[in-house]
Amino acid sequence: MKKIEAIVRLSRFDKVRDALAEIGVKFFTLQDVKGFGLQKGTKMVYRGSVYDSDYIARLQLDILCSDEKADEVVDVIMKAGRTGEVGDGKITVLDAVHCVRIRTGETGPEAV
Amino acid sequence: MKKIEAIVRLSRFDKVRDALAEIGVKFFTLQDVKGFGLQKGTKMVYRGSVYDSDYIARLQLDILCSDEKADEVVDVIMKAGRTGEVGDGKITVLDAVHCVRIRTGETGPEAV
Amino acid sequence: MKKIEAIVRLSRFDKVRDALAEIGVKFFTLQDVKGFGLQKGTKMVYRGSVYDSDYIARLQLDILCSDEKADEVVDVIMKAGRTGEVGDGKITVLDAVHCVRIRTGETGPEAV
Amino acid sequence: MEQAALEATFTANNVWMLVSTVLVFIMHLGFSTLEAGFVQKKNVVNILFKNAMIIAIGLITYWICGFNLMYPGGDFAGGFFGFAGFGLDMPEGAAGLIEYADAGYTYWTDFIFQGMFAATCATIVSGAVAERIKLEPFLVFATLFVAISYPITGMWKWGGGWLDAMGFYDFAGSTLVHAAGGAAALAAVLVLGPRRGKYTDSGIKPIPGHSMPLAAIGVFLLWFGWFGFNGGSVLSADPGAVSLVFVTTSLAAAAGAIGAFFVSWMLFKSHDLSMVLNGILGGLVGITAGADQMLPGSSILIGLIAGAIIPFSVVMFDKLKVDDPVGATSVHLVCGIWGTLAVGIFGAMAGVGQIVTQLIGALAVCAFSFAFSFGLMYALKATMGIRVSEEEEIKGLDIGEHDMEAYPEATGDQIAFN
Amino acid sequence: MEQAALEATFTANNVWMLVSTVLVFIMHLGFSTLEAGFVQKKNVVNILFKNAMIIAIGLITYWICGFNLMYPGGDFAGGFFGFAGFGLDMPEGAAGLIEYADAGYTYWTDFIFQGMFAATCATIVSGAVAERIKLEPFLVFATLFVAISYPITGMWKWGGGWLDAMGFYDFAGSTLVHAAGGAAALAAVLVLGPRRGKYTDSGIKPIPGHSMPLAAIGVFLLWFGWFGFNGGSVLSADPGAVSLVFVTTSLAAAAGAIGAFFVSWMLFKSHDLSMVLNGILGGLVGITAGADQMLPGSSILIGLIAGAIIPFSVVMFDKLKVDDPVGATSVHLVCGIWGTLAVGIFGAMAGVGQIVTQLIGALAVCAFSFAFSFGLMYALKATMGIRVSEEEEIKGLDIGEHDMEAYPEATGDQIAFN
Amino acid sequence: MEQAALEATFTANNVWMLVSTVLVFIMHLGFSTLEAGFVQKKNVVNILFKNAMIIAIGLITYWICGFNLMYPGGDFAGGFFGFAGFGLDMPEGAAGLIEYADAGYTYWTDFIFQGMFAATCATIVSGAVAERIKLEPFLVFATLFVAISYPITGMWKWGGGWLDAMGFYDFAGSTLVHAAGGAAALAAVLVLGPRRGKYTDSGIKPIPGHSMPLAAIGVFLLWFGWFGFNGGSVLSADPGAVSLVFVTTSLAAAAGAIGAFFVSWMLFKSHDLSMVLNGILGGLVGITAGADQMLPGSSILIGLIAGAIIPFSVVMFDKLKVDDPVGATSVHLVCGIWGTLAVGIFGAMAGVGQIVTQLIGALAVCAFSFAFSFGLMYALKATMGIRVSEEEEIKGLDIGEHDMEAYPEATGDQIAFN
Ligand SMILES: Nc1ncnc2c1ncn2[C@@H]1O[C@H](COP(=O)(O)OP(=O)(O)O)[C@@H](O)[C@H]1O
Ligand SMILES: Nc1ncnc2c1ncn2[C@@H]1O[C@H](COP(=O)(O)OP(=O)(O)O)[C@@H](O)[C@H]1O
Ligand SMILES: Nc1ncnc2c1ncn2[C@@H]1O[C@H](COP(=O)(O)OP(=O)(O)O)[C@@H](O)[C@H]1O
């Protein structure tokens, strides 16, 4: 079992979701995250001061899948999420030692 | 050390929290997440259009615990979080290679 | 590759961010989380009831870095994030089996 | 006074009464935002929906029967009940205009000013039963309450009924509007029960409202509207009377804030905004019965006491497990009764006899209003059911009753740039 | 009437007209919050910015030329167009004061009351084109529309032009303000196209507004302001007339809520707050043409029908892929035409001939307003471009046009304690 | 004028003055929401609390001594200070009514209208010191400022003091209310210091306010209230004068928006909503001193310049490290002085001598107000301490001073369904 965490642009989210659906990933978990760093955010103006926003807004998708499927999922996200501009995001793959579906108690690949 | 990520229903949160307390898990981290998928969300109406919400709202609990305790924690969440209806959520167990309490610098099982 | 998840106080965030920048961690992901537990939150008053807030607010930083760098990162966060009062938070280190930069497709340490 | 000048005065009077009508109207927005601010995010659409419907229902039912129940004219017997027929019909010519109220206002002005009042009374209930009552039975309740109960008790005094004959005084409605609404709210809450999770074995668990700015907007708008509520109750633009009412009303509201400020500091060692806001309302409700009878000093005292009552009253109702998310019972019922009694304690009418009369009046109106509401709620409970399911209460009434959210969020719009 | 009394009446009349002006002014806040509530979080600064600029532009252009285009006096030929010159100039002495409008109001009052009206008409468009129009071309559009188109069609009736001569009746502007604004909105939307992602292959995807409380505040404030909009259109404080207008206006609004309530329940099996809010506005727009001609019963019917029309109309426009985030076309155009026709169906002027006249008037004004706006938008599209880039539409116009967020968030301030 | 007609005029005048009072009252809501919108989420309860208390304190202290300090009557010596005793006492009979102000308004009206003004002056300070001042010392400051300083400088002109004798003109308070409040704000900010993290080594770090809709609501409500602020300062309902004031006030506000629009585009290449909102307020403050002296053209110029000043002034204060989260110093102090001078530059009183007189008046009032506030703040700093701890500033004053949040969130209520 793998847990894949993908950080993508808001504007690419629709594409990524649809691409995932095509390869049979029909459910994932989503959260709003902020990319925080030293490089530039977005130009902002407030009461006469021009400044950069501290952070950039990104979406994080958490996807559980079987070990075999992981590469395909990463691939698909990479293709659908890419614009080529700085800031396209990252995909991290973690090992999940265990996974349970609360409703049924199924574990492992059947649970996702 | 294990990191347990449990995605549960909002309406089961109180039960899960209390059940965890009973087995001695007295602290965990919580965040709002969205379950995103192809199946139905909630029926919504807005200005004459009836539609399904894109996502369902869920809570994610992150719990750090010792390897021995992990099974008990998973078990307890499963029992307290279950309604039997589709949408009860998932529990994932990850291996934490290291864990530190910032205040004291304690590591490993003492840190949780 | 390691994924480091650090839960820190809001009031220490600036210090932690600057300390990380000094050791060359120039990008990380941030999210608002709630620390939920049995101990006290903050004293609150509402319409004549004095009570404790259910949770305490914390920030979670997710940092990807190479295996070698991990200890330094943990160390730096621990120093910058510590106040010595209860509630300073935790740092967890997970193994990332894989990591990709979406823009370029670079993997592993080059991707972070 | 010769005719042309009389007509000019009539015009000026009527302008004031219409301005007052507009001001009382906007109190509905005040109630809406106050109540919206004091409920949880998941029940905001529901409370706004109820408030929008109540003003509609209030006006339409007042046209159907309310006005003629409340002001039946000389036709009623015994002073307890009378009805002048359905619908409206302006008397012809001067009889509906300059002669209608001694050049104070026209027939239509009378109707619309009183109609706005009527609707406020029903609104008081809506906040107290928030976050757990089903929409349809609530609307039925509001319709019958405003169509029947409010005009009947109102008639007892303002329609020239038995309380009026007895010498009971209630200038702008501390009893007839506020305590009546508050008693109905209390009855409704008792039948309905508290919100799930409020009173637990380990004590009272407050359920904070989701937006203090909305609540504060509500209180300021209510104060704003109160200038019309009390100022319009002079029933003309009489310069001395209206301006005195402005002074007493404002000072009582100000003193209410100060009273609540100090008492809540004493009791809770904290500066509780929700208490100060309720204190202002308490001061306003308190002065309403005698706003034209007091000098500034007395009005300050009345407001100060009303404001000081609020924190005690809120705590008391909570101890009694009367769950009222917006404090309607404390503000409208308790301070309404206080204000009614104050007419016998301070000001031009002070006297033991008057206190007794005031007490009788307040109790009679509250008793009727309570009984009517209790019975009606009970009947609704037995038939339609009045409480949402536990699951819906957790989910929120916005999704449960309206399939909507108050603050819909697009994916990732929390931070809108990319 | 002898002089002193006449002056007193003049003073009272003018007070009322100024109060009405203030009430119409606050409708701009009503529009602002309504529209802000009905757009997504990422476009809120933009809609507020547009509304703040529109009132400024509306007043300044009305000073430059609007007033003298709309009320050119006897100078114009044929009744289609006239212009009395740039700027303002109060007639000297009594001619600009007591004699200016038969002791109804002064020259300055006339200008400022009418100026507030003018600005509302432009505001109607701003909601319909929200979330995708570029700021600068929109401001150009608003400037020219309010400076030229609105006063020209307004003159046809209120300035004594050909529609007035024909017997067309539009008391406070169901056609001249609302349908005119609505027709302009429709034209603008057609040129501009729908928001990205609204009409997809798999059907209509609603894009919910971000704040129902803001929307509700908007509707209550609009109703509040409408007392001045309709009440001030009596053009004096005549007690009988103004108070009747208050009654008809309020009852129609109330009935609008009820009409929309039942129809949207029937159609969608849900209690849609946005429909009830639009229903109130529909009722208000509907009664506006004949608010002084109706008795309470007819005004309720007019409002009920207007409210019932709203859900159907909203669905219809959506089927036609006319994407109007706030429902301006349904509320202002459709109910505006309905209200104009209703003058011929109900009330004192009812009659087949009148219906025809009303229809001609409504169509003529809408046609002109539509054509003017369509042409202007088209020209702007060809020159400056009127639509933001797809990327900007996704990011939101707040960042795109203003480099700001409506609800800036500090890191971690969602929960502010530590 | 014979008696009956005179009384009718009196009634109409007094209605207008009371309506103005109500409008000035609602400016407090305007200030509340404007300031709430311009602070961070974690300090919203605090700002609302301060504003609710200020109106209460303002009215009560005006009753205690303010009114009699500001309008001491013939008793004062030299024109710098006078006091007619504590509390209020309406002159008997006609002396407090029709004769009190030549049939303009009653004694009570005078008190309550002036009392609302007084409270606005204190409110100006509250925004400038937001997000870092301790609650209790601020309330002490507000109490003493509004009870003593404001009435003393007010008396110099409106109470018939030395500035009045000198020919200084300030129609509705560009100097006496706005610049006085702005100078006090400046003094307070200087003693208090900037917010933590605003002025860093790497430059100015803006701290955006948390809600632009609240800020916009505030500005619209302030404009709304300004019709009473300026319109009521005519001190009667004189149709010509009040309607002219409406025109000049509105056009100046509109022009202020336009001035700020163009200048902030020039300076920042962006459409900064907060600047346009401040520009509107700048225009309003600017016209206030001479609203009855200007023709439309001049009022537009005055507003345009005021609006254009705003962006420059905001940037200047920021360069000087005067940290004013809401722009009170720019809007009230700078535009207040500009408006005062404008009386000598444009309109009926223009002339070099008048400019000098205006300058003397403005400087004298600002100097007194600044010195009083600086001394008082300094004394409070030395005794109670005026600044919250660094930790509390980070956590926010809502938790620190009030143990509350402005937007409490239940677990998971961000998305309320399940
Ligand atoms: N070392 C890291 N640890 C955690 N998250 C990171 C790291 N580097 C980047 N991210 C996340 O990925 C997002 C995009 O990264 P960025 O470096 O801007 O893109 P690119 O790889 O195209 O240069 C960031 O907003 C951040 O959330
Ligand atoms: N493959 C997956 N990857 C990540 N999260 C998932 C996945 N499947 C489900 N989830 C999470 O679990 C929640 C409940 O899952 P769901 O499939 O609806 O329940 P059930 O297992 O009862 O059918 C979802 O909202 C989602 O957040
Ligand atoms: N067992 C745990 N699992 C997950 N998160 C935890 C756990 N213990 C603590 N945390 C997180 O760390 C934060 C601070 O922890 P706390 O125990 O209060 O600090 P300290 O270690 O100084 O006593 C909490 O708010 C919570 O988010």
- Model pLDDT for residues E204-237, shown as the tens digit of each residue: 999 999 999 999 999 999 999 999 999 999 999 9
A90 CA: nearest ligand 1 atom? 12
- pLDDT tens figures, F364-401: 999 999 999 999 999 999 999 999 999 899 889 999 99
Angle between helices E135-144 and E107-128 (to 10 degrees): 140
DSSP string, D74-103: GG-BTTTB----SS--PPSGGGGTTTTTTT
pLDDT in tens, D256-294: 999 999 999 999 999 999 999 999 999 999 999 999 999
- What's the rounded Cα separation, in Å, for the pair E110 and E170? 18
CA separation for the pair E285, D355 (Å, rounded): 50
Which helix (H) or strand (E) segment holds residue F50: the answer is helix F44-61
For residues D137 and E46, give the distance between their C-alpha atoms in angstroms, rounded to a whole number: 41
d(CA C26, CA D299): 64
Kindly state the helix (H) or strand (E) to which residue E345 belongs, with its residue range: helix E335-345
In short, whether C81's Cβ falls inside 6 Å of ligand 3 is no
Question: Tens digits of per-residue pLDDT, D357-387?
Answer: 999 999 999 999 999 999 999 999 999 999 9
| Strands A55-65 and B49-52, sheet pairing | unpaired
Confidence of residue A39 (pLDDT cuts 50, 70, 90): low
Domains identified in chain C, total number: 1
The CA distance from F13 to F9, in Å, is 6
Specify the number of domains making up chain E: 1
**Does residue E418 have a pLDDT over 50?**
no
Contacts of F403 in chain D (CB under 8 A): 270, 272
Judged against a pLDDT cut of 70, whether residue E317 lies above it is answered with: yes
Give the model's pLDDT for residue F106.
98
Task: Say what angle helices D150-157 and D180-192 make with each other, to 10 degrees.
Answer: 150
pLDDT for D199 beyond 60: yes
Residue D416 pLDDT > 70: no
Q: What's the CA gap between D54 and D118, in Å, rounded?
A: 10
C-alpha distance from A87 to closest chain D C-alpha (Å): 9
- For residue C81, the CA-to-ligand 3 centroid distance in Å is 13
A100 lines ligand 2 (CB under 6 A): no
Task: pLDDT band for E157, please (50, 70, 90 cuts).
Answer: very high
Which residue's alpha carbon is nearest to atom 25 within ligand 1?
A: A35
| Structural domain harbouring D107 | 2-74+83-417
- CATH code at position C54: 3.30.70.120
For chain A, the chains sharing at least 3 beta-carbon pairs closer than 8 angstroms are: B, C, D, E, F
User: Which string of DSSP letters, residue by residue, matches F152-200?
Assistant: HHHHHHTTS-HHHHHT---SS-IIIIIIHHHHHHHHHHHHH-PPTTTEE
- In this predicted structure, what is the pLDDT of residue F75? 66
The parent domain of residue A61 ranges over 2-111
How crowded is the C-beta side of D32, counted as CA atoms within 13 Å? Answer: 26
- What confidence category does residue D1 fall into, taking pLDDT thresholds of 50, 70 and 90? low
- Token couple for F13: 């005048």
- Residue E36: both structure tokens together: 């802000």
How much is the pLDDT for A87?
87
Q: DSSP labels for D146-160?
A: IIIIHHHHHHHHTTS
Subunits next to C (3 or more Cβ pairs <8 Å) are: A, B, D, E, F
Contact list in B for residue D391 (CB cut-off 8 A) is 11
Tens-place pLDDT, residues D101-116: 999 999 999 999 999 9
C46 contacts in F (CB within 8 Å)?
A: 404, 408
Q: Relative to the alpha carbon of C58, which ligand is closest?
A: 3
What would the DSSP string read from start to end of F313-349?
A: HHHHHHHTT---TT-HIIIIIIHHHHHHHHHHHSSTT
Residue pair B60/B5 in contact (Cβ under 8 Å)? The answer is: yes
**Residues of chain F whose pLDDT is less than 50?**
413-418
E412 touches chain C (CB under 8 A): yes
Mean pLDDT calculated for residue range D307-322: 97
Backbone angles phi and psi of E321, in degrees to 5:
60, 30
Name which residue leads in pLDDT, B110 or A61. Answer: A61
Check pocket membership of B22 for ligand 3, CB cut-off 6 A. Answer: no
Q: Torsion angle of alpha carbons D403, D408, D411, D415, nearest 10°? A: -170
- CA nearest ligand 3 atom 25, residue: C35
User: E299: closest CA among E363, E356, E246?
Assistant: E246
Q: What pLDDT is recorded for position E414?
A: 40
C13 against E11, higher pLDDT: E11
Ligand with minimal distance to B81 CA: 2
Residues C98/A92, Cβ–Cβ less than 8 Å: yes
At B12-68, the pLDDT tens digits run 898 999 999 999 998 899 999 998 876 667 888 998 888 888 788 899 999 999 999
**Contact state of C10 with E414 under an 8 Å Cβ cutoff:** no
List the structure tokens of F272.
Answer: 């900064």
Alpha-carbon gap: D403 to the closest alpha carbon of chain B (Å): 5
Q: What is the pLDDT of residues A73-85, one digit of tens each?
A: 999 999 999 999 8
Query: Which numbered ligand comes closest to the C-alpha of B103?
Result: 3
Distance from CA of B8 to the nearest CA of A (A): 8
Instruction: Name every chain D residue with its beta carbon within 8 A of the beta carbon of E9.
Output: 4, 7-8, 11
Contact D97/E240 with Cβ under 8 angstroms? yes
- Is pTM beyond 0.90? Reply is yes
Half-sphere exposure at residue F216, Cβ-oriented, CA atoms within 13 angstroms: 33
Closest of E291, E333, E342 to residue E310, by C-alpha:
E333
For F415, list phi and psi in degrees, rounded to 5. -125, 110
Q: How confident is the model at residue E417 (pLDDT cuts 50, 70, 90)?
A: very low
Please give the pLDDT value at position E75.
66
pLDDT tens sequence across D218-265: 999 999 999 999 999 999 999 999 999 999 999 999 999 999 999 999
Task: Give the pLDDT score at D409.
Answer: 79
End-to-end CA distance of chain A: 9
| Residue-level pLDDT at D413 | 46
pLDDT of the residue at A42 = 81
CATH number at residue F309: 1.10.3430.10
pLDDT, residue B110, reads 82
Work out the pLDDT band at D418, boundaries 50, 70, 90.
very low
Return the partners of chain D (3 or more C-beta pairs < 8 Å): A, B, C, E, F
Say if residues F4 and D6 touch (Cβ distance below 8 Å): yes
Interface of A with F in 41-100 (CB under 8 A): 44-51
**E410/C contact by beta carbon, under 8 A:** no
